[in-house]
Amino acid sequence: MKTIKGPGIFLAQFLGKEAPFDTLDHMAEWAAGLGYKAVQVPCTPQLIDLETAAESQSYCDDLRARLDRFGIEISELSTHLQGQLVAVHPAYDHLFDGFAAPEVRGKPAERQAWAAGQVKLAACASRRLGLTAHATFSGALAWPYVYPWPQRPAGLIEEAFAELARRWRPILDVFEDEGVDAAYELHPGEDLHDGVTFERFLDAVDHHPRARILYDPSHFVLQQLDYLDFIDIYHERISCFHVKDAEFNPNGRAGVYGGYQGWVNRPGRFRSLGDGQVDFGAIFSKMAAYDYAGWAVLEWECALKHPEDGAAEGAPFIRDHIIRVTPHAFDDFAASGVDRAANRRLLGLSGGGATE
């Protein structure tokens, strides 16, 4: 068995204009001071020159050396925003345009090509940085039709996933060439948001070996999906792990859909670690049992608590949940060795043959 690495922290929710949240070096020093061992780095120019990282080994070596000064590693790079732009339904064009580089805004086809290129660059940069997994979103074409009213036309969802696969297959091939997993965070708003949709995508990309999962139980709590059973079903495809808490408290006025309310008032809302309903003891046990050897990374999102308090509490929470796996069975002290003849006698069999 393998011991999970951690704690790590996803930097996206903490980025700002003031120190220590303004540069990668400052954020690494801040994270180290809280007890984190790794940072998950969003591919934003504020933190990393993605094109240079994809092309220059010396740039990547220098970046790693800078973080080494603080005892910090990179767990994964993230292209959540760029991955989102690989597939955008026209209803969301305006809302998502701000995720793109200024020169491609308002130009959906050019924006999509830019986004695909960014994710490919991230695959190359990940390999140069010595990483084996990458975090991203799938984007969405079918999301406006998630609830079947009016009745969906026959073949609509199949066509959406065929197109999603057509866009992602060349990107996944680059990840294969670079030896890096593309781990999709299964998230409402994305076409890949649960096990069924991930399986649809897998079928459409011929079960591509680099199509993997970023496991985040908080999104499953909000969907009322069994997040423990999910690990049993999909553990072989899990390459990244966001440690994020959530709670679901339905009432007589609102349930899963939330009634368009803000996060504080929604029945399903994200919480800081330990403040929600997620059974992390059971999750870490399953991840250990299934030999997950990647990073456990805090993604902080909470409707109530201050982010810096959530970050400070997150490192010891994750550290205390990581199971240092045993190198041997607890009852090995009583082992009596292998004696086939003795075993046959214990079974009431005689001789050494397979049959009587």
Residue 162 lies in a domain: yes
Task: Please tell me the distance from the alpha carbon of residue 179 to that of residue 124, in angstroms, as a whole number.
Answer: 9
Q: Write out pLDDT tens, residues 262-308.
A: 999 999 999 999 999 999 999 999 999 999 999 999 999 999 999 99
User: What's the whole-model pTM score?
Assistant: 0.94
Q: What is the distance between the alpha carbons of residues 213 and 326, in angstroms, rounded to a whole number? A: 26
CA torsion 75-134-268-321 (nearest 10°) is: -30
pLDDT in tens, 231-247: 999 999 999 999 999 99
- The answer to the question of residue 230 being in a domain is yes
Q: What pLDDT was estimated at residue 351? A: 66
Tens of pLDDT, residue by residue over 89-122, are 999 999 999 999 999 999 999 999 999 999 999 9
Within a domain: 253: yes
- Domain-embedded: residue 343: no
Show Cβ contacts of residue 288 under 8 Å, excluding neighbours closer than 6 positions: 1, 2, 3, 4, 323, 325
Q: How confident is the model at residue 342 (pLDDT cuts 50, 70, 90)?
A: confident
Q: What are phi and psi of 207, to 5 degrees?
A: 55, 50
Task: Report the pLDDT value the prediction gives residue 18, as an integer from 0 to 100.
Answer: 97
pLDDT at 92 (0 to 100): 97
In a domain, 191, yes or no: yes
Residue 83 CA to residue 88 CA, distance in Å, equals: 10
Q: Are 300 and 244 in contact (CB under 8 A)?
A: yes
- Look at residue 3 in the predicted model and tell me its pLDDT: 94
Work out the pLDDT band at 332, boundaries 50, 70, 90.
Answer: low
- Supply the pLDDT for residue 348: 92
Mean pLDDT of 138-155: 97
Report the distance separating Cα 187 and Cα 184, nearest Å: 9
Q: Is residue 342 part of a domain?
A: no
Would you say 112 and 138 are in contact if contact means Cβ atoms under 8 Å apart?
no
Residue 212: CATH number of its domain:
3.20.20.150
Task: Give the domain extent around 189.
Answer: 5-331
Q: What is the mean pLDDT of residues 157-182?
A: 98
In a domain, residue 340? The reply is: no
Pairwise CA distance, residues 235 & 232, whole Å? 6
pLDDT band at 352 (very low <50, low <70, confident <90, very high): low
Number of domains present in the structure of the chain: 1
Number of other CB atoms surrounding residue 209 within 10 Å: 12
337 domain-assigned: no
